[in-house]
Amino acid sequence: MANPGDETRLSIPEGVLLGHALVSRVAYSLGIRAFFIKGPASVLQGLRLPKTSGDVDVFVSPADLGSMVEGLRARGWRERPVDPDTRTFPKHSVTVHHPEWPCCIDVHFRFPGMERDPAECFEVMWTNTEDLELAGQEVRVPSKALGTLMLVLHALRSPHLPACRQELVFLGALTKRESLAVAVWDLSTFVGALAAMRPFLEGLLPPDVTVDWPDASREWRNRLMTREPGSARLIAITQAPLREKPGMLFRAAVPRREVLLSGNIYADMSFRGRLRQRRTRWAKFLGSVPKTFRNLTQLRKRHQRPNNR
């Protein structure tokens, strides 16, 4: 016999749609400018093939991040544990969860691949947003050009994955069909995303458009080289000053509780549970070492230029 309580529990698609409405209300009540990225809004705009989103992605100014998270905290949402190592994993969002909701909310305050100051980027992005009806109310979403830019940057982080390659092909065809290339290039220039967007834009821009392509930042190059378990830490340790390497090596071998909980907030934190998780992490890392070194060698050769930052 079915549990009566199960009948009233939100499904993931329902939670995501209602989550957009909730976040929009919270932002409005606090006077925060917020717009939604990726997710169902992108599907409605025709920027993505139909797919089920597992969370709510909202973008706010860096200055409003604390207020937005606090507003959600007042309604029962709590921050998920995260790895405190910002050298290895530069922070670009805060994720919150709620025990009675089937989805999380990701509050973004900067976007990887956009190299200008995050506050300046937000102002440029905000002027390129529009209204869209979602979950029974008007919410702010990126324009088609901005939405394309953000989805392309997101896919370019992992172009080796089939789903990301499929998305890039879809967005390339859309950009051609709707003549968005120049508008996307223009926005990329304003937010400092030309280096990251080069693989996508180079073949789409009209012949009369001349671009002085900048070099990619270290953070972006590192993201492209991070493909296998543990590769991000390996890169960070390699690039760190000598005096910091021992501590980073120790934390890689014996990760903090927050690191173990970041992947699963319900993980077993008993002594045996932590040992089991660490053993699993090491097994995955050691199994990926040969492929990691091959990838790093190939990508470094591909992205190496005289004036890399």
As a whole number of angstroms, the distance between CA 105 and CA 55 comes to 6
pLDDT digits (tens, 9 = 90+) for 181-225: 999 999 999 999 999 999 999 989 998 888 999 998 888 888 887
Of the listed ranges 77-86, 115-124, 192-201, the least confidently predicted one is 77-86
Q: Where in 76-161 does DSSP place strands (E)? A: 78-79, 93-97, 104-108, 129-134, 137-142
User: Does residue 306 carry a pLDDT above 50?
Assistant: no
Task: Report yes or no: 65 and 119 within 8 Å, Cβ to Cβ.
Answer: no
> Which of 162, 161, 136, 171 is closest to 38 using CA atoms?
171
As a whole number of angstroms, the distance between CA 152 and CA 132 comes to 21
As a whole number of angstroms, the distance between CA 113 and CA 192 comes to 8
Q: 272 pLDDT band (50/70/90 cuts)?
A: confident
Residue 5 pLDDT: 47
Compute the C-alpha angle 171/175/177, nearest 5°.
Answer: 115
* Strands, sheet with 93-97, edge to edge from the N-terminal-most edge strand: 34-36, 55-60, 104-108, 93-97, 78-79
Task: Report yes or no: 298 and 207 within 8 Å, Cβ to Cβ.
Answer: no
Compute the C-alpha angle 213/45/71, nearest 5°.
Answer: 90
As a whole number of angstroms, the distance between CA 99 and CA 89 comes to 26
Residue 282 pLDDT: 67
* 121 burial via Cβ count (<10 Å: 0-12, 13-18, 19+): buried
Q: 262 pLDDT band (50/70/90 cuts)?
A: low
Residue 149 pLDDT: 98
Task: Report yes or no: 94 and 77 within 8 Å, Cβ to Cβ.
Answer: no
